Structure 1
Amino acid sequence: MGEKLIYGIQQIGIGVKNAENAFKWYAQNLGADALIFDDSNEATHMAKYMGGKARSKRALLALNMQGGGGYEIWQYKNRTPSAAENTFQLGDLGIHFPVIKSNNISKSYGVLQAKNVRILSDIVIEPDQQKSFYIKDPFDNILKIKEYPKFYANHKKSIAGIFSAVIGVSDIDESLNLYSEVLGYDQIIYDKTSIFDDLKSLNNGNKRFRRILLSHSEKRIGGFSKLFGESQIELIQAIENKPNKIFQNRFWGDLGYIHLCFDIKNITQLAEECKRAGVPFQVMSGESFDMGDANGHWGYIEDFDGTLIEFIETNKVPLIKKLGLYINLRNRDPKKPLPNWMIKAMNLKRVKKFKE
C-alpha cells in the first residue's frame, strides 16, 4: 500500500460563471498565468454533489510559477450556478478564502491598487505578527494577501501562489482530528479567542472568534513539494453567533470556493486513515482520471462540517502535448522531489499574453 505523503496544497477550487474571464483576472492580477490544464467534459463521479446527475463543465488549473498552490477555475456549461443563500459572514462553515504569499506586503498593496483591484482593508497585523490585507475579485470572492516570503522562484513579482486557507468550522477541537492528525498540520502557531483587529474590515469581523493557525512540523518531501512549499491552515470558529453553511442547498461547482485540494501520494493509505478518523472518502475516481492532458487518481472527503477536501495523486503533467513532452511521476521515488529543471519546464505552460 505504501506510506501516505502530502506534497502540499495544490489548489483551491472556485466556482464561476465564466472560466475564461476568471482565468484572465487571476493571471493578470495574481500572476497565475500557467495554464496547467483546460478540461471540458462531463463531471460524473461528483453527481451526488450536483443534484444526482452528471454535469457538463469546464475546469482550468492556473498556477503562479513563483510557488504555492493554484486556482482550479470551474464553470458549469449547462446550468447557471447559484450564489450563496446568505451573505457571507466570518465564522460561516466552509472555505472563507485562500491566503496568498507576498514577499513585500507594501509593494503588493501598491501593485494591486494600481491595477484597480478592489481592496477591502488597510495593511493589518495578524496574531502571528505577520502583515496582511484583503481583496475581492470581480466574482465576489475574498482573498487574503499575507507576508510569507518563501517563494520557489523569483520572477521579480511580489505575489506568488496560495500557501494557506481559512476554513470556518463549528468545533475546532473536533476538526483537529482531521487537519492536525490526518493532514499533518500538527504545529500550533497560535490558538486565540478574542475580538481581532485584523478581521474588523470583514462582515461579522467585530465579533468574538476562536482562531487556530496550524503548520506542519515535518517538512513536505517528494513530488512537487518544492513548488507548492510549506503551508498552513487556519480554522475559525464563531463564538457569538450561529454560523451558516456556505454551500447550504447548493451544488459543488456553484459560485464561490468549492473545495481545498492537496497533492498527495498513496491515496489508498490516505483513505484508510480518513476512515479511521471518521471522515471517509465520499467520492473516488477509481483506477485513473484524465483531467485535460493531466492524469492520476483523486477522491473527496467532507470535513466534520461538510467542507469538501480533495486529494489528487498525479501520475502525469503535460508540458508540450504535440511533442509528447510531459512529467511522469508514476515510477519515481515518491520521497524524492522533482528536480528544479523539471519544475521550471512548467513555465512552458505560461500564457504569453498574460506575462509581464
Structure 2
Amino acid sequence: MEEKLIYGIQQMGVGVDDAEKGFQWYATRLGADACIFDDNNEATYMAPYMGGEPRKKRAILAMNLQGGSGYEIWQHTGRTPLKMESPLDFGDLGINMAKIKSVDIQRSFDRLKHLGVEFLTEMVTDPDGCKSFYIQDPWDNILQIKESDSWYDVKSHDLGGVFGATLGVSNIDETMKLFAGVLGYDQVVYDKTEVFEDLASLNKGKEKFRRVLLTHKKDRIGGFTALFGDSQIELVERLDSTPKKLFEGRFWGDIGFIHLCFDIKNMKKMVEDCKAAGFPFTVLSNEDFDMGDANGHWGYLEDPDGTLIEFVETHKVPVLKALGLNINLKNRDPKKPLPNWLIKAMRIKRKKF
C-alpha cells in the first residue's frame, strides 16, 4: 500500500451565525478573500454530532493566497446556532484559537487596531521568542496573530492564513500520541510548565499551565504544500482548575472553532494508522463527495478529549467554473507539488467587499 502523505493544515472550521458576514469579516480583516467553495448541501454524515439528524447549512472555504491555510466558515441555516453559555477560559477542552501568520507583526497590530478589531492582549512575546498578539472575531473566536517566516507569495497584505492551532487538553502526553505519533508533529519547540506572562490578559491566563509547541522536522511535500507552508500545534493543559468542554451540550457547527482539518493523500492508510494508534474514525464520507464545486474524500476522528480532527483527500478544486478549469489531484503524482501558475490561477476566486 502507498504511504499516507500529510500536505498540511487545510483549514480551520469556524462556526458562525451568518456565513456571508463571516466571510466578509475574515476577508477584510485577515485577507482571506478567496472563495474556494460555497456549499449549501445538507450536512448528512455529521448527524451523530448534530442531534442525530442531517442539518441544513452553508459552508464557505475562504483563503488568504499569500500562504497558509483557510477558514471553513460554517453556518447552520435550519436552526439558530448556539453560543457557549460562558466565555472560553484558556485551556478549556477543544480548539482555543487559530494561529495566523504575519509578514510584519507591528504593521498587523496597527492596521487591526485602526479597523477597531477587538484586542485581548497588547504585543507579547511567546515562549519560543516570537512576537504575537491576540484578537477576537465578532463571534468571540480567538485568533493569535504571530510573526512567521514561512510564505508562499507575499504581495501587499500584512497577514497570511492559518498556520497552526492551540488546543486545550486534559493530558498532553496522551494527545501527543495523535499529533506527534501519527500526524508527524515530531519536533518539540518548547515544553514548559509555569505561569506565563504572555497569557496574563486572557481568561484564566494567570493560572499555571503546561504548554507544548510542536512542529514537523521534515518539510511537507506534494500538492498544496507550498501554499500551506509550515505549521504548528500547541497543546495546553491547565493545572490550577478543571477545564470545561467547549462543545458540551451543543452541536457541531454551532458557534466556535468546530474542527481542525488536514489535507492528505491516501485516506485508507490514514484510517488504518489512526485506528492502530487508538484514534478510530467516527465519520467517513464516500470516496467522491461533492463540497460545492469541489470534490474529495473526508472523515473525522476525535482526540482524547473529543475535539474533532478532520482529514480531506482533495480530488478536485474548481478554479474557473465557466471554462471548466479545475485543479485535479486524484490521478497525479502525490509527491509532486502543484505548479505555481495553477495555484496562482486561484486568484480569480478572490472577492471584493
TM over 0.5, shorter chain: yes
Name the residue aligned to 1:192: 192
Deviation string 1:31-76 (CA, Å, 9 cap, x unpaired) is 0000000000110000000000100100000000001011000001
Counterpart secondary structure, 1:42: coil
| 1:330 aligned residue | 330
Q: Within 5 Å, which residues of 2 pair with 1:115-130?
A: 115-130=115-130
The Cα offsets for residues 195-229 of structure 1, whole Å up to 9 and x where unpaired, read as: 00000111000000000000001110000000000
Alignment of 1:111 with 2:114, yes or no, is no
Q: Deviations over 1:57-104 (max 9, x none)?
A: 000000000010110000011100111133210110000010000021
- Quote the Cα distance in structure 2 between the aligned partners of 1:20 and 1:335: 35
Indicate yes or no: 2:137 matched with 1:137. yes
What whole-Å deviation, never above 9, does each CA across 1:274-320 have from its counterpart, x for those lacking one?
10111100000022210000001000000000000000000000011
C-alpha separation in 2, matches of 1:93 and 1:43: 25
Q: State how far apart, in whole Å, the 2-side matches of 1:44 and 1:139 are.
A: 25
Distance in 2 between the 1:287 and 1:172 partners? Answer: 33
Question: What's the TM-score, normalizing by structure 1?
Answer: 0.98
- Separation (CA, whole Å) in 1 of partners of 2:170 and 2:247: 15
Report what 1:18 is aligned to.
18
Residue 216 of structure 1 pairs with residue 207 of structure 2: no
8 Å CA contact 1:260–1:308 kept in 2: the answer is yes
Q: Deviation per CA, 1:110-132, whole angstroms, max 9, x where unpaired?
A: 01111111111111001000000
Aligned to 2:60: 60
1:67–1:152 CA contact under 8 A, matched in 2: yes
**1:211 corresponds to which letter in structure 2?**
R
1:181 corresponds in structure 2 to: 181
Name 1:78's counterpart in structure 2. Answer: 78
2:137 and 2:85 map into 1 onto residues whose CA distance is 19
Contiguous gaps of at least 5 residues in structure 1: none
Amino acid at match of 1:108: S
The SS at the match of 1:345 is: helix
Partner SS, residue 192 of structure 1: strand
Quick check: 1:15–1:255 contact (8 Å CA) kept in 2? yes
TM-score by length of 2: 0.99
What is the match of residue 281 of structure 1? 281
Match of 1:50 in 2: 50
Q: Determine the C-alpha separation between the residues in 1 that align with 2:315 and 2:167.
A: 29
In structure 1, what is the equivalent of residue 152 of structure 2?
152
Identity percentage over the alignment?
Answer: 61
The amino acid across from 2:308 in the alignment is: L
User: 3-state DSSP class of the match of 2:198?
Assistant: helix
Q: Decide whether the 8 Å contact of 1:86 with 1:244 is kept in 2.
A: no
Amino acid at match of 2:124: V
**Alignment correspondent of 1:339:** 339
Aligned-partner Cα distance in 2 for 1:2–1:44: 30
**CA distance in 2 between partners of 1:205 and 1:341 (Å):** 45
Alpha-carbon distance in structure 2 between the residues aligned to 1:135 and 1:149:
21
- For residue 212 of structure 1, give the secondary structure of its aligned residue in structure 2: strand
Amino acid at match of 2:36: I
Pairwise mapping of residues 33-44 of structure 1 onto structure 2 (< 5 A)?
33-44=33-44
Query: CA shift at 1:2, angstroms?
Result: 1.4
Residue 309 of structure 1 pairs with residue 309 of structure 2: yes
Distance 2:265 2:84 in 1: 34
Q: What is the match of residue 30 of structure 2?
A: 30
Aligned length: 353
The residue that corresponds to 1:261 in the other structure is 261
Q: CA deviation at 1:149?
A: 2.6
Alpha-carbon distance between aligned partners in 1 of 2:249 and 2:268, rounded to the nearest angstrom: 31
For residues 269 and 116 of structure 1, the distance between their equivalents in structure 2, rounded to whole angstroms, comes to: 46
- The CA deviation string for residues 239-262 of structure 1, in whole angstroms up to 9 with x for no partner, is 111110000111000010000000
The residue matched to 1:287 in structure 2 has which SS?
coil
Secondary structure, aligned partner of 1:181: coil
Segments ≥4 residues shifted beyond 4 Å: none
User: What is the Cα deviation at residue 155 of structure 1?
Assistant: 1.3
Residue by residue over 1:135-173, the C-alpha shift from the partner in whole angstroms, topping out at 9 and shown as x without a partner, is 111111110000113211111221100101000000001
2:18 aligned partner, one-letter code = N
Aligned equivalent of 2:8: 8
Q: Could you tell me how far 1:19 is from its partner in structure 2?
A: 0.3
What is the distance in 2 between the residues matched to 1:296 and 1:113?
39
